[in-house]
A = this chain, B = another copy of it.
Amino acid sequence: MAVTTPQVVEDEGSRARLVSAAAELVHAESYHSVGVKAICDRARVRRGSFYHFFESKQSLVLEAVEKIWEGFSAEVLEVCWDRSIEPRDRMERMVEQVVRRHTRDRERTGSVLGCSFGNLTAESTALDAAIRNRLVDVFDAWAAAVAVPISEAQAAGQIDREAPAHGMALEVVSELQGLILMAKARNEPAVIETGGRNIVARLWGARAP
């Protein structure tokens, strides 16, 4: 009887499961507290196969950032381009979707987990510049989406035209990052809701009631 050497056939399902597991675990805990073993266990992929797909935890997490970005973009940012909705309502909905994500995290885990992009930034000193650079792209792309309703509102005379829309949008993203961090500290998504309402009200020239 011939002895067959079983070849490890790793399907694309394993690869995708590793990316999903990394995205979930790093978000739920942190980059440095999650090891390759935990990611493999969650993905139901043998540890020995990990390096068949990825050079390192960092290269896996770089792909996980793409995956998180796709989900975030679809859930939170798509509304920014919807010209059937008033610019100010689009901004409000964008903020509401951010609040919804953090409310959902707390319902599911008991904790506001924070923004995956912001959390990774906070942990990035010890990481490759590749991850940090990708995070800058993410923040810029988020701001590019937010700039759409802002520039339309500027064109419609609803918002001050002196400042460039992209600069204002970068401020909005930065302010949201601050709010999400404060919401995480207090374990209270309402921090983002109240603060986000103030951001929109301030852009449109009046303080929220």
Contact = CB atoms under 8 A, between A and B. Distances in A.
A contacts with B: majority SS: helix
Contact of A163 (B126, B135, B179, B207): B207
Contacts of A136: 185-186
A28 B122 CA distance: 11
Contact of A123 (B30, B162, B174): B30
Interface stretch (A43-51, A73-81, A112-120): A112-120
A162 B18 CA distance: 52
Interface residues of A, number: 44
A30 B182 CA distance: 19
A135 B29 contact: no
A120 to B, nearest CB: 8
Contact of A118 (B181, B186, B187): B181
A20 interface: no
Interface of A: 28-33, 109, 111, 113-114, 118-119, 121-126, 132, 135-136, 139, 162-163, 170-171, 173-179, 181-182, 184-187, 191, 195, 198, 202, 207
5 contacts: A114-B121, A122-B184, A124-B184, A135-B185, A178-B179
